[in-house]
């Protein structure tokens, strides 16, 4: 077997079909590398700063100033974020923006962000949700 089919990390034989996509690492070593890479990046201010700049045109300092201005609370419900990420850390407040213009409106908790996302394109849905809940309450009040 030539060097192309041998993992450079553990020396294991690398199957030919996998070797053409990942010639230097076996599947197990490649997966371990990816897990470590993403674990190291998770919660990293550097990667989050890049995302803020790319997606919203915000610097990390501007984002942090918005967090402070809002008292680390959601702009809609005024509660702090409670949703947790896979690692158990509390999520950051989400950047709410107008999908048509790209303009940033504020920072929202995950729940409010999902509601805004669901209602942004169809404002009549809000009235339908309200009517649905009122009908259910009226029917079950006894």
CA 59/CA 46 separation, integer angstroms: 11
Residue 85 tokens, joined: 């990420």
How high is the mean pLDDT of the chain?
83
Give the confidence band of 28 by pLDDT, cuts at 50, 70, 90: confident
11-15, 28-32, 60-64: the lowest-pLDDT one: 11-15
Residue 34 CA: distances (Å) to CA of 6, 18, 19, 92: 19, 16, 17, 23
Give the CB-side neighbour count of residue 11, counting CA atoms within 13 A: 0
Q: Per-residue confidence at 26, pLDDT binned at 50, 70, 90?
A: confident
31, containing H or E segment: helix 27-41
CATH architecture assigned to 45-113: 3-Layer(aba) Sandwich (3.40)
Task: Considering the chain, tell me which residue range(s) the CATH 3.40.1800 domain(s) occupy.
Answer: 45-113
Give 1's pLDDT tier (boundaries 50, 70, 90).
Answer: very low
Q: How many residues does the chain have?
A: 142
* For residue 46, pLDDT beyond 90: no
State the Cα–Cα distance between residues 54 and 52, nearest whole angstrom: 6
Tell me if residue 90 falls in helix, strand or coil.
strand
Partners of 13 in the β-ladder = 6
Is 3's pLDDT higher than 90? no
pLDDT digits (tens, 9 = 90+) for 98-124: 888 889 999 999 999 999 988 887 878
More confident residue, 42 or 94: 94
**CA 113 to chain CA centroid, nearest Å:** 12
Look at residue 89 and tell me whether its pLDDT is greater than 80.
yes
pTM of the entire predicted model: 0.62
């Amino acid at each position: 077997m030539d060097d192309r089919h041998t993992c450079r990390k553990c020396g294991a034989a690398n199957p030919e079909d996998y070797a053409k996509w990942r010639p230097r690492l076996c599947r197990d070593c490649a997966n371990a590398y990816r897990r470590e890479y993403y674990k190291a990046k998770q919660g990293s201010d550097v990667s989050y700063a890049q995302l803020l700049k790319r997606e919203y045109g915000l610097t990390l300092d501007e984002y942090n100033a918005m967090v402070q201005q809002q008292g680390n609370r959601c702009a809609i419900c005024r509660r702090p974020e409670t949703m947790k990420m896979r690692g158990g850390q509390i999520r950051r407040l989400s950047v709410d923006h107008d999908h048509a213009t790209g303009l940033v409106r504020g920072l929202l908790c995950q729940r409010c962000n999902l509601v805004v996302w669901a209602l942004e394109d169809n404002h009549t849905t809000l009235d339908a949700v309200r009517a649905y809940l009122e009908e259910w309450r009226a029917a079950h009040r006894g």
